[in-house]
Structure 1
Amino acid sequence: MNQNTKTEEYNEYNQKSFMFLYFGQAVSLFGSVLTTFVIIFHLTMLTQSALVLTILTLLVTVPAIFITPFGGVLIDKFSRKYLLGSADFFQAFFTLALIWVFINEATNILLIILLLGIKGIFQPFHQSIFSAIIPSMVPRDKLMQKNSIMQLGNALVGLMAPIIAALFIALATWPVYQLLWIDVVTFLIAAFILIFIKIPKVVRSKQQEGQENGFFSEFKEGLSFLRRGKGFIPLLLTFAFINFTFAPLSVLLPLLILIYHSGNALDFALVTILLQGGIIFASILLSTKVKVTKLISGFLVAILGIYVSILFVAVAPQGELWILFLSFLIVGVCLAVSQVSATTIWHKTVPLHLQGRVASVRTTLSTSISPLGVLFAGLFADELGANNLILYFAIIGLLILFFMFMFTSLRHVEHQDTEDVDSKEVNTD
């Protein structure tokens, strides 16, 4: 058996293992999405307050900004398999704590917000770990396909979880918190699958091992790589402003549907269902027939489509929910294209031994100003109106996107010379 045959068999084994691993993580994600939907609906109907939703979002996003950099360094230093399992475990643990609160103190809003906020801190850490694992198990020429398949799977999860939650809320006669047990069960399924998966460990070269390896030096190394690359910083800034301008919509959407448009749980779920339906449709095309050859162009056009759709969401007349339904279907299609394109850019251009650190740096920087958008939503939504605030931020986003395209090196970001020649993979986990 020659070396090429061994390499092909090794890559095929890794790809099969990766798909089993992803299946377990998708099952776990189902429980997390369902839990978040149930609790946000509960808090919205109980308080009808933009401030409560703002506090919840800030409790999730602000601590994550400071914790994620440490997570990225840990990802490149320790077993990614055990870190992935630990992140899943702590999310399930705080779901159990939420169940206890619902049983004993269902109206304790602050405690519910605090626990959901702490649970949410582990989600970006979990995403960074899984993102770092992907290029170590998937060949470069299969990254676009696998990212599209994962986007499809995540969309199916996002489609089914709200449907089940909304039907349960509308029809069930027993307490809604019983749904949270699903999150615990899905964690156990994911943990069982993870036990049998071998995740390749990236071995750093002697030169890399001899370098200073404290936290700040490791984080600085990831930042230095991004600064050296062509277009990386403009791409990060684009993400940062996208997160900033999308923040009011993500915070105020429950109020917009349930209060401003006088919708119900099924309307709220239908918006999510159509969003995920658009993602599913685009993901199927991307994983089978359609190939985005210019990734950054696909990303920019998709973001443009999202902003235009949000404009229609903002100007929709009161009670005309069909405009929101159609707009979020289009947002879903564009979101799939933008996420797959951007994720593939990062996986193709960042060396394996830097994936964790770079993922943590880009997550930290790209989310660093989103709390300001959340804060604006909480402070000015009641005064300006949720729809007007969403409109203003969408216009700002369009102007920033135009500037980044015309006056920065963003267009050239996928043309990098960053071949990872200093690392290799061995199965140790």
Structure 2
Amino acid sequence: MRARAHSALLSLIAACLFAMPSTAADQKLIDQMKIADPEAGPVQLRPKFLTDGSYDTADPSAPIHVQLPDGQQVWMIIFSGGTVIYANSLEEFLRGGAHALLDIDFLYPDGTHVTTKPYRIKAAPWDPDLAFFRSDAEPRMVGYAGMMEKCKEGVEPTRAKDNWTRNRHAFDVELWRDSVTRKVHQLWKDLGSVQGYRPCEHSEDPWLGAAHAHGYGSHYIEDSSGRPFLFFDEVTEQKLLNGAPVPYRTEILVRQLDSSRTRAVGPKRFALRVTRPDDPNRPFKAARRSIGGLLIEGPHLIDVTIDGVDYYIMFFSAGDAFTDKYGSNYAYRLKSEGLDGPFTPGVDDDGELINITSSLSERIDATWGIGRPNPFRDQQGNLWIAGHVILKQDIPDDETKSGWPPTYEQLVKRARRSLVIPLATELREGRPLVKTIEAAP
């Protein structure tokens, strides 16, 4: 009896020693996410990677459908840093598999080129978005991206020194296909700040105020009557740290645009704050940053019908982008109430923001997301998000797996994969509930 007990104890110890840790990745799931659907048969409703992590593909746009001047059609997804992937159809993206990454040309207002290297020394456009509309009976394409400004003629801004000058800019966008190589080319011409900010006119409030309010992401959308709006994140409070002003609070606002879609008009309104609606003095836990302050960012919207009720759903992320706590959250508003007002955050029973990608992130042992959700529908009406993530297994074991890398060299090595994830929605106790679909039925 004693021998059997001793043997059982040894077996238990061995099982504990060789059991996979709770944070170990589900390698089978990761492998499935890397594999594209077969070309024959329907698109499977499951998460899939679109890039392989060999180059950073952060903040993906939703798939965008464009008609080129030669009449041909193309689909694309654009990333921060000025890169893009193309496809001949939406289905190509939804089948998954790695896509070739290409550069976009960005020009400053003076006509000089922007360096398109995210998180490196030079400037880069962040979180690109596009608007399509007709102006004077002609089709027009306007882009939006977070841009740093040149405060000295001929000197390109740098992220470390000039990041405070960044806000949402409008761009004239041109796309065409080379008649010889058949490659698609894309050129964005900077038209200046949508908000009319003048950040180079440095004030005592470098992160906000009349001259400037620092911002990162935005989303263009029209209401049911065709009025254009821009949702954007912006620094709404700064504090002194060691005698220097720093951004402390970043929240999501909305503002109507003029008929050109390149300038904002009318008042700013809060779409979502970093504090709970039932207690303005109580910030959401997910919005807290490890370096201090509160942040929600990257608004992207879509209209949905859930059990016969029409809503606007706004997706966003919160907190530290460089951690495994960074996720995908949402808020909602009745479509009948219009766009220019506060959204109701999707929260759990404790009143905290729901991270719809937390389960999938844990299963694949991810960091830097799964975040920056950007919603879209497939041709069957299914709801998806595009987002980004880093697999911890791709980070060397002697480097920081979650959190701010201790050195700049480690920071710029990080390469986020882009991915697409199908969603399901329902009404629960009269409130929209959004969930990810993690495996094909």
Higher RCO (CA-CA < 8 Å; seq separation 6+): 1
Q: Common fold, TM-score beyond 0.5? A: no
Structure number with bigger Rg: 2
TM-score (norm 2): 0.24
Question: Relative to total residues, which structure has the larger helix share, 1 or 2?
Answer: 1
